[in-house]
Amino acid sequence: MSTSAHSHASLSIVVDVGANIGMFALHALNNKGAARVISVEPAYDTFSMLQKNAASHDNLTVIRAAVGNPPRGNQTNTAVLTTYTNCSGWASVQPRPDGDVLEDVVCFSRDLAKRATHNSEDAQLFDELAGGKMQATILRTCLAQTNRNGVLGRFSKLAESLVRLQARRILQSSQVEEVPLLSLDAILAMHVDDCDDVALLKVDVEGLEHQVLEGLTRRWERVKAVVCETHGGDDASDAVASKLRSAGKFDEVHVTTPIAHSKLRMVYAARHLM
């Protein structure tokens, strides 16, 4: 991305759609010089943690809502959100097929297991994903064995089976809750002055990315950069990239694959700033 887009983000407004418990928002405020962050999170338990994390930050606005493209002129739009016990990051208004989730979890586990050897936070996350320290020890042993055989990062069948089993347990824990549904137009109208720029729009909504962007019909020129996580492989990321080029008129748009062999993509967009 252009350095001008990043420098412009200093001392400006960030909109965080799919904020989870607020780690991205706090990083933007504490480490990246954002003057203000607007964080939107729909899941009740996760939003409660977001509120606690935001309590000591007057410049962090939190909103409990899903974001999409609701019918215009109706002030009572709602959506049905699917959540999963002990896996808040999977919550979605548009849950993906279980098979797609399982494949992404396996790819994520391979990547995480390699990092967990050197990073304590990744190691803790790996333990949680594996379903406990005993399962995590088995997975690491399998990984170490494949490493000795010279196949770095390749899971044995046992390790992969354990990961899939834990992922299925999480999927079976699903429950639903009704949440308010807002558009980006509505959020900006309520919380951002017409003359103010949005230095960065971050979108992480587990499958509803294109609908989120469809809900922004005005003020695209005020959005200076976008980072959007997509699911569904190239089709999903291509649709988002196309929207950013056509409606957003961004000068730079590109897509990366952060985890090999997964359907996860990251879409980045920025403007050439004077």
* pLDDT 10s digits, 38-62: 999 999 999 999 999 999 999 999 9
What torsion do the CA atoms of 261, 95, 92, 158 make, to the nearest 10 degrees?
-50
State whether 123 and 151 are in the same domain. yes
Tokens of residue 11, six digits? 């001392």
Per-residue pLDDT tens for 80-134? 999 988 788 888 998 778 888 777 777 776 676 666 566 566 556 555 655 556 5
116 lies in the same domain as 250 = no
Within-domain flag for 252:
yes
- Cα–Cα distance for residue pair 212/203, rounded to 1 Å: 8
By C-alpha distance, which of 108, 152, 102 is closest to 126? Answer: 108
Q: What is the pLDDT of residue 68?
A: 95
> Taking the model in full, what pTM does it have?
0.83
Q: How far is residue 61 from each of residues 169, 187, 212, 230, 247, measured CA to CA in Å? A: 34, 11, 19, 25, 27
With beta carbons less than 8 A apart as the criterion, state whether 186 and 63 touch: no
Sites in the chain below the pLDDT cut of 70: 1-11, 73-75, 109-110, 112-159, 274
Tokens read off for 58: 């007057």
CA distance 192 to 218: 13
Query: What pLDDT is attached to residue 96?
Result: 79
Whether residue 88 lies inside any domain: the answer is no
pLDDT of residue 102: 78
Nearest to 226 by CA among 205, 244, 206, 249: 244
199 and 241: one domain? Answer: yes
Q: Are residues 58 and 77 in the same domain?
A: yes
- The residue out of 171, 187, 218 marking a domain boundary is 171
Q: Do 145 and 70 share a structural domain?
A: no
182 and 256 inside one domain: yes
